[in-house]
Structures are given as structure tokens and as C-alpha cells.
Structure 1
Amino acid sequence: MFQRLKGQFFTLFATFFLTFTLSSSAFALAIGETEINQLLARNNNYQSNYGIPGIASVDYKLHDFSAKIGQTAENA
């Protein structure tokens, strides 16, 4: 009888632990459009160069990044 209760307790504990772990990690990943745009505003100047020496090269600078979450190209 105790073996059966011990097995049920272990199953219940493992289920609770797994559910709690997965649900708490899902809340940690919640991030919105505002937070992403704030991060992009802090790091929005990116410049670099690319090329083959003596043949061709290009210098480029990327700026004014923004994110629009949940919008498709037709709605933008």
C-alpha cells in the first residue's frame, strides 16, 4: 500500500514541479514592442565595411531601427 502511495506522491510532485517550472519560465520571456524599441534605440547605430581589398569595398551604416510586433507587410 505504501509503495502505491509513494509512487502517486512522486508522480504528483513531478507533475507540479514540471508545471511550475514551465509556467514561470514562460513569464520570464514576456516582452513587448515597447521594450524591444527601447533596446533598439539604445543600440541603433551600426556601421561596418565589407569588401575584397584592391577590388571593391562598401562602407555601410544602419540606423533608426524599430519593431512592429504582430503586423504583416500588408498592414504596415
Structure 2
Amino acid sequence: MKRVKDRVRIVPSVELSDMRLSGLAGRCGVVTEQVLAIPGKLIGCMVLLDKPFQGEHLWFIPQDALEDETAR
């Protein structure tokens, strides 16, 4: 589970593609907020990117599209 202030890398995923945000894959940033579903299940995170994408720094990223930046 990703925590606030964790450094993450965005990886390709079906959900990211479905959101038409595949261009975010490969970018890095810092988790600013966890996004939870009703029963407390983590569905993704708000990530502050190191460099803007489409003019924005802050993006919702689905859980399956996140990995620790140092994982590779």
C-alpha cells in the first residue's frame, strides 16, 4: 500500500489506459493523498508529478499503475 510522501513511478495498466492517461506511464512523483473506496479499500492515489503532464502536476493514478520508484 502506498503512503503519503512515498516516491512512486507510474507504470502501464489497463485502468490507466481506460482513463486515456497512458502518457503518464514512466513518470515519477510523490503520493499526496490516498483515495479510498467506500469500505476503505485503496483504489489509487493523488500523485504530484516531478514534471507536468498536459499542464498539470497533480493526477489521480489507479493503484495498479503505481510502483515504488526504486522497484526497477
Q: TM (normalized to structure 2)?
A: 0.21
Choose 1 or 2 for highest CA Rg.
1
More helix by share: 1
More strand by share: 2
Structure number with greater CO (CA < 8 Å, separation at least 6) is 2
Q: TM (normalized to structure 1)?
A: 0.20
